[in-house]
Structure 1
C-alpha cells in the first residue's frame, strides 16, 4: 500500500500576489527601491507586500502592475489554478485502460492525463506476460518513444526488426505500422510515450 502525501496547502492570496510581484520584478532586474519610487509607495511597504506581511489595496496593486508592465488580470489569472499543472501517479496506481492489444494479454496503465479537447501526448506502462500470444499491429499519428524496463523482445517498425533488452529505447514515426514481433523473455514492462505534436 502506497503512502499518500498531503497536498501542499493552497497559497493565501497575499502570499500569491507577493510572489508574483517579486517574480516579475526580479525577471526585469528591477530594484525594490526603483519600483517603490515609481509606484509611489515606500520601499518598506513594497517589501511587506512581496513577503505577504500586509494586505494591500487594488489601487496599489494596479500601480505596481503598471510599473512592472503587466496587466492586473495576469496578476490574478493563475491563482485559481494552483496545483493543477502537475500530476503525480504513484507506482502501480496508473489508470488501467483498454486499448488494442488488451485482449492479447497486454495490460495498459495510463500514466498521465491532459486537460482540454486536444491531447499532446499519452504515456503508458505496458505489461506483457504471455510469450505465446500473437500481437496486433498499431498505427496512429505522431511519434512514439519506447523504453524497455524489464524483459526482452523483438519490436517491429515497418519492415525493420529491433531486438530490445532492458534499458533500450526506440523512437519512431507512429504512422508506420508497428508492434511487438516476439516476446523473448517475459514478463515485459515497457514504457510507451506517444507524442501527438501540434496541429
Structure 2
C-alpha cells in the first residue's frame, strides 16, 4: 500500500486503549476506511500529523483506514473538520443534485455588524460566494486568522486590505487572493462604504463566522 514520505506502513490490529467509542471489526459503516485514507492523502497529511490533529494515536488512525476499527461519530466529526469535508462525504452519501443557477432575490440579504451579505453561490459547496456591502469604520474591521483561502473583487468604492504587516488599498476592478492563515483585516476606505464579491473555502460557514462581520446575523 502506498504511503506518504515519512509515513509508516499501516500496523496490524492490536488492542487500542486510547480509542474510546470505536468498534473492533468492520460493521455498519461501509467503505469509510478507504475514504478516510484517500481524503488524508489528498490533504497531504501523514498519519502522524492527521492523528495529532484528531486527538488519536497514529496506530489507531491506521486501523481506521484499513477497516480494522470503525470510527465513532465524534471521530468522524473531527476527521471531517481536519480534511475539509463533511461526515456525509466520509460515509459516501450522495448529495441531491443542486441547481447551478442562483437567481437574484432568491434569498434575503443578511446583516451582521453593518456588513450586508447577499448569497451569490449555492449552499453546501466547498467554495462559498457572497456579494458584500462593506460599511466605513465599524468594529468588525478587526484582524482575523483562520484556515482556508479568500478571494475578493471590488465592485464599488475602495477597500483597505491589511495582510500581515502590509496594507493595500484596492480600487474598483482590483482583486486579492490570499491564504487566510495570514493575519488579515478588511474594511472600506471610503466613507460611503464599498461593495465587493467575496469567495472563501471555509466549508458551509454561516456569515457570522466569516472574517467580516462579527455580530449576530439578521435578515434585512
TM-score class, shorter: 0.3 to 0.5
Structure that is richer in strand per residue: 1
Larger radius of gyration: 1
TM-score (normalised: structure 2): 0.42
